[in-house]
Amino acid sequence: MTGAGRRKADGSSTRGQPVNGARALLRTLVNSDVDVCFANPGTSEMHFIAALDDVPEMRTVLGLFEGVATGAADGYARITGRPAATLLHLGPGMANGMANLHNARRARSPMVNIVGEHATYHRVHDTPLTSDIETVAGTFSNWVRTPQRTADLGPAAADAVVAAMGPPAGIATLVLPADVSWGDGGRAEPPAPRRAPATVASDDVRRIAKLLDSGERVTFLLGGSATRAEALRCASRIREATGASVLTETSLARLERGGGLPVVDRLNYRGGAALRQLAGTRHLVLVDARPPVAFFAYPGRPSVLTPEDSEVHVLATAGDDVAGALAELADLVAPGVAAVPGPVRPRAERDAELPTGPLTAAAIGAAVAALLPDGAIVVDEGVTSGGHVQQALTDGPRHDWLNVTGGAIGIGLPLAVGAAIGAPDRRVLGLQADGSTMYTIQGLWTMARENLDITTIVFANREYGILRGELARVGATAGPRALDLLDLGRPDLDFVALATGMGVAAERATTAEHFTAALRRALAGSGPRLVEAVL
């Protein structure tokens, strides 16, 4: 411990003695319970790095590419509910992490970006690494600040954490000029006061309750924090008591499921199927969710998926006490009614029916459902193949399911890294498409470096499979030159070699038996492993 701020016994903190900016920043972050930093540093961040030895409570995790750092911070936030910091090297470093910052924004994950910047007096020279950091950061952040004096850094860091936590949670980007970091006169700050979620007015809850009395079909659409266990149980009670339908949004930051939790279907990614799920709905009630819209536009198909003769209502938004509003509604319309537990298939039964023969996505789903330990975290970037596993796990052990929330692929491996750092006692299973894996393949190295208990399954179909479907859906006729751009098999990617090259043990499976054995080995050992499933 240095003199730069220390936590008091009651958990509060005092302002510290004057130190340099970097130490004040780090100590303030730790004071505010931000104690993990996913980093890919450069010269302008060297004082921050040097200060790490003075603030040992801050754990740093190195990524070989910034998209690993930002995606990991997202995964950490989804699992812990707390922001991690990232450390990024000027504008280009932030740009490299930006696709996953986009995903994190859509996941409403709390995060504190520290983006290194030239010294305040150096920027004017427009040197090679200079770019417009604030303008770019403004497109994905809900808070951006560039302190100009070292004394401002501690308060800025405390404010950044509060801005990130919300609610609603989001990305706070603190741009750190090098001289502000190395300058003297910084002070560690105690945590700034946190915002409380807004309580949904009881009148608004009763208004929704009345809809459920109307005899017209009501569908609840759950998103954000409404896909966690307690909220799902409330939704189940409401469904049981009133006959309302309940769906979740398509891409969820974190869905708790399995282990007897109530089962709630997802709104389908395909617009046509989603329209069928919503058909007949007269009242659509959004619970920390947004009105359903097609992911992409297609010629001649609707963008808006809300049935034309329906009304949209809002029970709670991201800034509200979402679980509280659902609980109040459940107590109102379903007093004494219990949630309906989802089915749980005995593990012994599954074990006896382990798949054999050709390796398919369905076989992989069956094997995963049989072998996944309780309390696992599943990261789904399987694109065309992940759904089979999700289906198989519906009556499986309790687990969290993490989606790509912003449609930017290349988050799967980083998300797994962050989830594993955030929950070291839980097993993480990554479902990856071959195409998506390649975007941030560097994440494997961080898994090895931190010896994380992550099992990665790569569905190797050797094409951008989803795009073949999309080509047809947009009504385009595909010739050989078009199809060649969707083909990943020239040359084939060897994921065993790629994983091994980054220190992750790996094997390739071409039959269901081999896959099951490989998965069993991977889940039994400690540290990361990869299984390339050739489909």
| Torsions phi, psi for 469 (to 5 deg) | -65, -45
**Contacts (CB under 8 A) with a copy of itself, residues 250-289:** 251
The reply to whether 1 sits near a copy of itself by the rule CB under 8 A is: no
* The binder of a copy of itself chosen from 135, 199, 202, 356 (CB under 8 A): 135
* The binder of a copy of itself chosen from 406, 412, 414, 418 (CB under 8 A): 406
Cα separation of 502 and 495, whole Å?
Answer: 11
Q: Of 9-17, 126-134, 168-176, 514-522, which part binds a copy of itself (CB under 8 A)?
A: 126-134
The residue type found at 474 is: V
> ∠435-440-446 over CA atoms, to 5°?
135
Per-residue x/- mask for a copy of itself, residues 293 to 312, rule CB under 8 A? Answer: xxxxx-x---xx--------
Q: Which residues contact 220 (CB under 8 A, 6 or more apart)?
A: 235, 238, 239, 244, 245, 246, 247, 285, 287, 315
Shortest separation between residue 408's beta carbon and a copy of itself, angstroms: 3
Q: Of 174-182, 235-243, 280-288, 354-362, which part binds a copy of itself (CB under 8 A)?
A: 174-182
Residue (41 or 154) nearer to a copy of itself, CB: 41
The reply to whether 139 sits near a copy of itself by the rule CB under 8 A is: yes
**Contacts (CB under 8 A) with a copy of itself, residues 331-390:** none
Q: Of 26-34, 192-200, 273-281, 291-299, which part binds a copy of itself (CB under 8 A)?
A: 291-299
The reply to whether 523 sits near a copy of itself by the rule CB under 8 A is: no
The reply to whether 129 sits near a copy of itself by the rule CB under 8 A is: yes
Q: Are 74 and 249 in contact (CB under 8 A)?
A: no
Supply 83's token pair.
Answer: 């922001």
Mapped to the 3 state alphabet, what secondary structure does 222-283 carry? Answer: ECHHHHCHHHHHHHHHHHHHHCCEEEECCCCCCEEECCCCCCCEECCCCHHHHHHHHCCCCE
Radius of gyration from C-alpha coordinates of the chain: 24
Listed in order, strand segments (DSSP E) in 48-181 are 59-62, 84-88, 111-117, 143-145, 171-177
**Contacts (CB under 8 A) with a copy of itself, residues 38-67:** 39, 41-44, 46-47, 49-50, 52-53, 56, 60, 62, 64-65, 67
Give the burial class of 353: count Cβ atoms within 10 A of its Cβ; 0-12 exposed, 13-18 middle, 19 or more buried. Answer: exposed
**Contacts (CB under 8 A) with a copy of itself, residues 480-519:** 480-482, 484-486, 488, 490-498, 500-503
Q: Of 130-138, 256-264, 343-351, 423-431, which part binds a copy of itself (CB under 8 A)?
A: 130-138
Cα separation of 343 and 372, whole Å?
Answer: 16
Shortest separation between residue 454's beta carbon and a copy of itself, angstroms: 15
Q: Of 132-140, 207-215, 337-345, 452-460, which part binds a copy of itself (CB under 8 A)?
A: 132-140
The residue type found at 344 is: V
Per-residue x/- mask for a copy of itself, residues 439 to 468, rule CB under 8 A? Answer: x-xx--x--xx----------------xx-
